[in-house]
Amino acid sequence: MALFGKRKYTLVNLKKKNIPNGIFAKCPDCQAPTYTKALKDNLKVCPQCGHHFPLTALERIDLLIDAGTFRETDKNLLSKDPLGFRGPKTYKKKLADDQQRTGLKEAAITGKGHLQGRPVYLAVTDSRFIMGSMGSVVGEKITRAIERATREGLPVVIVSGSGGGARMYEGLYSLMQMAKTCAALARHRDAGHLHISVLTDPTMAGIMASFAGVGDIIMAEPKALIGFTGPRVIEQTIRQKLPAGFQRSEFLLAHGLIDMITPRVDMKRVIAQVIDFARSSAKPVATPDES
């Protein structure tokens, strides 16, 4: 009984307010919550620690290509099921599900556009579509974009966000794309044209072992996971503890695998500078009659 017959405290029943999903995003690095809209306005980079969240292929195109200039190529190419793959989910079902979920027809978008006024061919892989893995259609689209860039004498920029490597559902048809894309890039280089490879988190396996790893200039976003096999698999295989930051952009820059680390906010400007530098320092390629 409170003094003078009156309760000293009043208990209030507070109900937890329901916050709609999607209002906040939690950074996987620093765990800080950020308004989703604020994160989007900051190019999906955590304002607290600088962690780079993944971008979709369309977001990446909007980031790099001048508004209204992008023209997609080979957008109607669709994967088939050459092996009749069956498992917990068939390959056809997996393709259909990812097409519906992402709104994409395949894991890569290719096309031509202007990057700060400079004409380029761009190819982007999207990790939401079967982990951005490379099947026959992804390889064909990227190869055709490279070949068009070679014929027109333009730079090609390939942005890799692929954690799936070569697509196992297509077997050797997928593995053949590694050689095909690299052969097209070799012809592009022999013709004296530029290939800029942009590595994002993650860039792994057959993607890294093919077109992503043979750029004239290889740049990466900060802290991107880059390699062939994941660090946990390597540790289990060699039974040794790996160095801190192993297979991250900063580790690979220190060991000479990549040329530069470029934050997302600077990516478009830096690519334009690289294109200008390559153009100003390019030497004429000898024709058969001149050699």
Q: Which domains does the chain have, with CATH numbers?
A: 25-54 (no CATH), 55-280 (3.90.226.10)
CB–CB of 158/271 below 8 Å? no
More confident residue, 18 or 30: 30
CB–CB of 158/195 below 8 Å? yes
List phi, psi (to 5°) of 134: -100, 110
Q: 59: which 2 tokens?
A: 């977001």
Separation CA 101–CA 94 (nearest Å): 10
The pLDDT confidence band at residue 289, using thresholds 50, 70 and 90, is: low
What b-and-e string marks burial along 65-76, b requiring 16 or more CB atoms within 10 Å of the CB?
beeeebeebbee
Q: 212: which 2 tokens?
A: 């992503």
Question: Average pLDDT in the 178-188 region?
Answer: 95
Could you read off the pLDDT of 71-101 as tens digits, one per residue?
A: 999 999 999 888 888 888 899 999 999 999 9
β partners of residue 52:
45
Q: 256: which 2 tokens?
A: 């000479």
Strands across the sheet containing 195-199: 71-73, 108-115, 118-125, 156-160, 195-199, 217-220, 260-261
The pairing of beta strand 156-160 with beta strand 33-35: unpaired
Could you read off the pLDDT of 210-257 as tens digits, one per residue?
A: 998 999 999 999 988 888 877 788 778 888 887 777 788 898 899 898
β partners of residue 226:
203
Mean pLDDT estimate for the chain: 86
